[in-house]
Chains A and B, each alone.
Chain A
Amino acid sequence: MAKRSGTVGFSKYRKHPAALSVILFLGLIVTSGVYTLGANAANEYARSSVDAAAIMNDPASIDAGKRLFATGCATCHGLNAQGNSDGPTLIGVGAASVHFQVSSGRMPMASPGAQVMRKKPQYTEEQTLQLAAYVASLSPGPEIPTAAQLNWAGADLAEGAELFRANCAQCHSFSGRGGALTEGKYAPSLMIATPQQIYEAMITGPQAMPIFNDQTLNLEEKHGIIAYIEYLKDSPNPGGFELGRYGPVTEGLFLWTIGMGALLMVAIWIGVKAK
């Protein structure tokens, strides 16, 4: 969903009264063809080879993190991460939250809107971990998942799919391509989140998303869900093009534009030929 980050500047127009009339046009244009493009966008946030545990355990990281924090985050979260009018306190949010927010480019927040959006990350993986180490040093919270916690190989795909439909689909949709929430908020597409980010999202519950701690979903179940999301990312599509996996709405648009369009053209052609 690189599209999302591209629309940051657009967000101030979206409540514009004219926006609705634009829907009619854009809706048709957008749906006529580009769905499949975004769906399986390559994973631009590949896991880096940085040794996370080493950095998190290195006491020097906390200082480095504190410095980064003072320049990049303190304006909104306060010098000691205690929070102020521009941002909430980060005391107790945990390293997982910082890693999720910063590695997905949400933090530092760029512009206010209905929802903080995913964008290109501003910090390297190493800096991100240093920030996480600093925030975690203030007060404990959900930790960055270990390599073992992220080893989802051998997970039960069918069970994961079932859990995904029961716990995630109502916001992220059956295909994981996301969905609208109230007042301009949305659950984003899951197609570019890394397994680590998926895990961290579950344990920290960013913004409107609920927290799925180990009582709600145990480690095995989390692995199942991650396995299913990874499956969705490049699952085979036995039926052919999937029109962006939006379901009946794009199917209907396809039928009315391309389907009816082609048949009408044939009918007109036969009509003209007859003359």
Chain B
Amino acid sequence: MSQQVTRGAVDKSIDGTVKYLDDRLSTSGFIKRNIKKVFPDHWSFMLGEIALYSFIILLLSGVYLTFFYKPSLVEIVYDGSYLPLKGIKMSEAYASTLEISFDVRGGLLMRQVHHWGALLFVAAITVHLLRVFFTGAFRKPRELNWVIGVGLLVLAILEGFAGYSLPDDLLSGTGLRIASGIALAIPVVGTYVSFLVFGGEFPGLDFIPRLYTIHVLLVPGIMLALITAHLMMVWYQKHTQYPGPGRTNENVVGYPLMPVYMAKAGGFFFIVFGFLVLVSGLVTINPIWKYGPYMPDQVTAGSQPDWYIGWLDGGTRIMPNWEITVPGMFTLSPNILIPAVVVPGIMFTLLALYPWIEQWITGDKRIHHILERPRNNPNRTALGVMSLVFYGFLWISGGNDIIAQMLNLSINDMTRVIRVLIFITPPIAFIITKRICLSLQHKDRERLLHGDPTGRLLRLPNGEFIEVHEPLSDEVKAILLARTELPMLTPPAEVDANGVKTPNLWVKKLQHRLNRWWYVDQVPMPTAAELTAAKAHTLHELEDAQERGIEIAKDLPSPTKSH
């Protein structure tokens, strides 16, 4: 492995390539600048890569599928090679997907690559998002890229749902029926929306062709543009790095793009690709031939969406069945509207706006290139865990029938219990997480002041026992010292210097109160004076003990060995 370098260092090994291109394209300035750009290194920075690679794999496998798939709801009689469906009436869309599965060379493998790839894609985006969230990578100047990321997540979910609906099998149709129900539940305009989207009464003949254009052209196009923007911003703003020795807000410590990072990224692409193909070759996904063609009068037990829609389905499953009818006017359906429109709307809005919400509370307008350890921002970490718990219960509810069946539980009991737990456990999760973060902060403070206990006990002549502490390594010290404290906001003045009442005073008061709450129980960092005093003390104690104490466990390090 080549050595770590800091930005600006030159790696001679690639000058030849640059020259070759420059002789032809005169781009040397651009290439030279960028090819040697330094990227920091950490496994968690590869999560976004998994998402990127699965997207590429989706594009490739998807294009193959378009060669054979027919986006048409025209009814035909199946005459392919899958016996248990021979002679059955079905749409061309479903028949062509059967054909891909059974009569096209490599078709089933491609379908499975495409579908496993879709599940992996959204999962990778999610994990990547969690990494960015819990390390504070979304802070200034990267707020806009966070919003692009949330946009990509929403599009990926929509894209997945559109794809899931294309084969027009029983699950597709059941999903679309629910989608049409959600459209219908929108107050006042619901019926129009549903008619507009489906081109008439559900299911109609127009919907699959429309969905197809959306799935293969519109959404992938937008996503491609957004992904490009996303990556260019990472490039331009530079990647964040974890705290460590020699790492500052002004530098980037890592490897140059060429050849180290490219080799690693390229290798990882093939690992993801290979792994997906392996899984797709071994494990069935969406066996549409078993579900059968969509018939409006059929439904199967265990009708479920893919995992990334599961939480929305779960919301509708545990929602009480409230309906309000205004006689002669219309029916309001909060039973659908709240879990399928209102709750996800709020969740995605909060998610997208989170960088600004946090900034508003903390008053932190600084530029951040060093990541924050989750414990060092207990409220954020706790909010994240709390949201995950909430999401988790929605998710579990989405599979409640399968869970009930496998574990011999009653669905009704599950629903009743989850309806309660989903409200009381998130705040508990918040409190517990925050406490854990704060006690980790305490521990860090202790380590900075007293070093690490070595397990070596000494008895002093006066009979006192002491445990020898070892000073921290530079590496650890740099990480622990990276936490910065912000001053709390000053309380807003009721009137300004000219005696004019402050406008929106209550907003400022709220901000101030939240700011206090955010920081009030933060464990203070040791001051510089405290650190020097502590260092002197540790050293002294060690020498002293060495001189006078009687070793009763293990041998001592010589005091000079301390770093």
Contacts and interface: CB of A to CB of B under 8 A. Distances in A.
Contact of A254 (B46, B127, B268, B283): B283
B264 A239 contact: no
Interface stretch (B229-237, B287-295, B522-530): B287-295
A246 to B, nearest CB: 5
Contact of A256 (B42, B307, B409): B307
Contact of B307 (A30, A240, A252): A252
B305 A248 contact: yes
Contact of B300 (A165, A250, A256, A259): A165
B292 A165 contact: yes
Contacts of B301: 169-174, 178-180, 187
Interface of B: 1, 41-44, 46-47, 50, 83-88, 101-102, 108, 112, 116, 119-120, 123-124, 127, 170-171, 255, 264, 267-268, 271-272, 275, 279, 281-287, 290-292, 295, 297-307, 310, 396, 398-414, 417-418, 421
A262 B275 contact: yes
Interface residues of A, number: 73
Given A161-B84, A266-B271, A23 B300 contact: no
B306 A252 contact: yes
Interface stretch (A7-15, A83-91, A123-131, A133-141): A7-15
Interface of A: 7, 10-11, 14-15, 17, 19-20, 22-24, 26-27, 30-31, 114, 157-159, 161-162, 165-166, 169-175, 178-184, 186-187, 228, 231, 237-243, 245-256, 259-260, 262-264, 266-268, 270-274
B418 A174 contact: no
A155 B171 CA distance: 27
Given A237-B287, A241-B284, A264-B127, 15 more contacts: A14-B409, A15-B409, A171-B301, A184-B404, A228-B84, A238-B108, A251-B306, A252-B306, A252-B307, A254-B283, A255-B123, A259-B119, A266-B275, A267-B268, A270-B46
Q: Considering residues B41, B305, B307, which has the most beta carbons from chain A within 10 angstroms of its beta carbon? A: B307
Given A184-B410, A239-B284, A260 B264 contact: no
Contacts of B304: 247-249
Contacts of B421: 20
16 contacts: A10-B408, A20-B417, A22-B407, A24-B396, A27-B406, A157-B84, A166-B298, A171-B301, A239-B108, A247-B303, A251-B285, A255-B123, A267-B47, A267-B268, A270-B43, A274-B41
Nearest to B305: A248
Given A170-B299, A239-B108, A240-B281, A263 B272 contact: yes
A249 B402 contact: yes
A178 B409 CA distance: 14
Contacts of A22: 407
Contacts of B414: 20, 23
A158 B413 contact: no
Contacts of A24: 396
B279 to A, nearest CB: 6
A259 B279 contact: yes
B403 to A, nearest CB: 6
Contacts, number: 227
A255 B411 CA distance: 25
Contact of A259 (B83, B116, B399, B400): B116
A259 B306 contact: no
A11 B87 CA distance: 45
A33 to B, nearest CB: 12
A240 B113 CA distance: 13
In the A-B complex, the 3 residue pairs with the smallest Cβ-Cβ separation, listed nearest first, are A179-B301, A252-B307, A271-B43
B176 to A, nearest CB: 15
B284 A242 contact: yes
A114 B85 CA distance: 36
Contacts of A228: 84
Contacts of A262: 275
A240 B283 contact: yes
B295 A166 contact: yes
Given A175-B290, A242-B287, A26 B87 contact: no
